[in-house]
Structure 1
Amino acid sequence: MDQEGFIQVTGGKVWYQKFDKNGKGAPLVVLHGGPGSSCFSLKGLKELSNDRPVILYDQLGCGRSDRPKDNSLWRLERFVEEVAQVRAALNLNEVHILGHSWGTTLAAAYALNKPVGIKSIIFSSPCLSAPLWEQDQKRNLKELPFEVQETIKRCEENGTTDSEEFDAAIEVFSKHFVNRMETKPEWLEKKPPEYRNSEIYHIMWGPSEFTVLGNLKEFDCTPQLKDITCPTLYTCGRFDEATPETTEYFSRLTPNSKFHIFEKSAHMAYIEEPEEYIHVMGAFLSIIDYK
């Protein structure tokens, strides 16, 4: 039986959905990207609920969750605390965790606190080192037309990342490294713009993907990846912002891990190759639950 509602967490209430077709597998908690986005684009993951409950929620300040004005809430430690509060409220004693993009930052930070009951972690298009992410985006930029590179560089230097020319340049970057579909699904185009909270993104990351100026600037958990010992799956798209080289590097640092590339995708394989994405995730989770 599906359900939705609100959960009290530090700073306000978060909105969640639980999809449940009475599958016997351990529940899957999905941590969306951003910071400051929502779980809207990930709703296709409810297809995994044939085998297990699937829980999606909008992190505080995002999507349909409360929008408190206290900027001190926008820090990694509080979002880690939020994951624990969601688990407790829904009585999730054993869980699989799937994080996407910033959601992998959150998943790793949460797992490294050594909570009990994590059966596996999926790092989908991972960002586990802000310095490495920044380095990769600068390398990705060099694959774009020179004028696009120059526009992004100039706007960053001049503090005009809120300009139309910067938006146009980012659109070119996105078509290469975020979502390569010529025609995006109609439902995705209808995503309400208010579901994104740019203020959280600016505080935690900065004004753009390419230079980290926010409070995540020093985040780098690569030295601790050896301590994540549960079964782990790393995935990315062949053309992902989260580059195959760096994603595979993270996987090599993690003892009990597997690595998969979605060959036709950039950063949104769950939309670009939805059937393949669900198949890969479902197979990984089922092996753990039913072995």
Structure 2
Amino acid sequence: MPGGAFEVKEGFIETEKGRIWYSVYGEDKKGVPLLVVHGGPGFLSMPQVIKDLADERPVYFYDQLGCGKSDKAENPEEYSVENYVRELDEVIRDIGLSEVILFGHSWGAGLVCSHLLDMKPEVVKKLVLSSPYLSTPKWEEDMKKLVSKLPESMVEIVRKAEETNEYGEEYFGVMMEFYKRHMYTHIPFPDYLMEAFGAINQEVYGMLWGPSEFEITGKLKSFDLSPRLGEITVPVLLICGDQDEMDVRTIRDFQMAIPNAQMAVIPDAGHMNHLEKPEIFKAIARDFLA
């Protein structure tokens, strides 16, 4: 099946918890393969833009358990950081990657760093952390600042929803306004992005994140890799938008904590900066991947 200028191959990997869907673009290319780990939690693979890097190397995508085309967990409790770390290890092994560059977006960045820190895989040669979520305390701190800049009526809607644990139409409206400012700043949203939002597995999202966009109450409540970032020794690229959901200064702190890290800020872009400014993103990524 054609995938832009590249042939795309799809398949399933049998893991301990269920079948995991994956795809690969440019499988015949000679560069070190890139494995893309999507965000969410509960989102799905979005090949747009990143698959263009398959002119130099194989680019793999996979849907995490419960997400996209992969199997759903028999027990929702199986949606956990520990299981997703093991799953990523299985994906790398079963695809047969003897060396790999991991690309994690948002929650996916936290997942690839957790995998590197906990599993210490020798096959991982570099990391690309795109709009990285690496610390719940830092995330929530930045979120509170951004929410406080919304109109007062919207701030009140968020406060009331989190207090009563009731998230209705008004709250959804605030969330969409926030997305326009910090998720994808180039309105209107493309159709493929709206379809992806509609396909989020709320069970996964609720289990790990919780019902609120701005306050984490799920299993990720205590997630904080900040104290361990100094243990990451492979070369790392951190990319964010200047209007991103995490403050540029927070990303800079992450960069300074990692021994061999560089950072790029994409102007006039938010959390989905690779989709908003694809040519700038690809130029930055190619330079680092080379």
TM-score (norm 2): 0.94
- For 1:177-256, list aligned pairs within 5 A: 177-191=182-196, 193=198, 195-256=199-260
Q: Which residue of 2 aligns with 1:88?
A: 93
Q: For 1:133, which of 119, 139, 143 is the aligned residue?
A: 139
Structure 1, gaps ≥5 residues long: 287-291
- Mean CA deviation greater in 201-210 or 57-66: 201-210
Which of 259, 263, 273 lines up with 2:263 in the alignment? 259
Q: Following TM superposition, by how much is the alpha carbon of 1:190 offset from its aligned partner in structure 2, in angstroms?
A: 4.2
Q: Which residue, 54, 58, 68 being the options, matches 1:63?
A: 68
Counterpart CA distance in 2 for 1:189 and 1:227 is: 37
Whether the 8 Å contact between 2:175 and 2:213 is mirrored in structure 1 is no
Instruction: State the AA in 1 paired with 2:43.
Output: S
- Partners of 1:46 and 1:240 in 2: how far apart? 22
> Tell me, which stretches of 5 or more residues in structure 2 are unaligned?
1-6
Alignment-derived partner of residue 289 in structure 1: none
In the aligned structure 1, how far is the partner of 2:140 from the partner of 2:196?
27
Superposed, 1:167-178 pairs within 5 Å as 167-178=172-183
- Name the SS of the counterpart of 2:230 in structure 1: helix
Deviation at 1:192, TM superposition (A): 7.7
Deviation at 1:21, TM superposition (A): 5.6
- 8 Å CA contact 1:14–1:58 kept in 2: the answer is yes
C-alpha contact 2:104 2:111 (8 A) present in aligned 1:
yes
The letter of the residue matching 1:52 is: R
Cα offsets for 1:115-146 (capped at 9, x unmatched) = 11111001110111111101110011111111
Distance 1:119 1:74, change over 3 A: same
In structure 2, relative to structure 1, the CA distance for the partners of 1:74 and 1:138 (3 Å cut) is same
- Once the two structures are TM-superposed, the CA of residue 31 in structure 1 deviates from its matched residue by 0.5
Q: 2:153 is matched with which residue: 117, 122, 147?
A: 147
Measured in 2, the distance between the counterparts of 1:155 and 1:188 equals 26
Aligned to 1:110: 115
Matched positions, count: 283
CA shift digits 1:180-216 (9 cap, x unpaired)? 11222343344483x3101111111111122111111
Task: Return the match for 1:10 from 3, 16, 25.
Answer: 16
C-alpha RMSD of matched pairs (Å): 1.3
Deviates more, 1:14-23 or 1:212-221: 14-23
Provide the secondary structure at the position in 2 that maps to 1:47: helix
CA distance in 1, matches of 2:190, 2:214: 27
Q: Separation in 1 of the partners of 2:165 and 2:195?
A: 30
Whether 1:24 and 2:30 are equivalent positions in the alignment is yes
> Could you tell me how far apart the structure 2 residues matched to 1:115 and 1:190 are?
34
Q: Counterpart of 1:106 in structure 2: which amino acid?
A: L
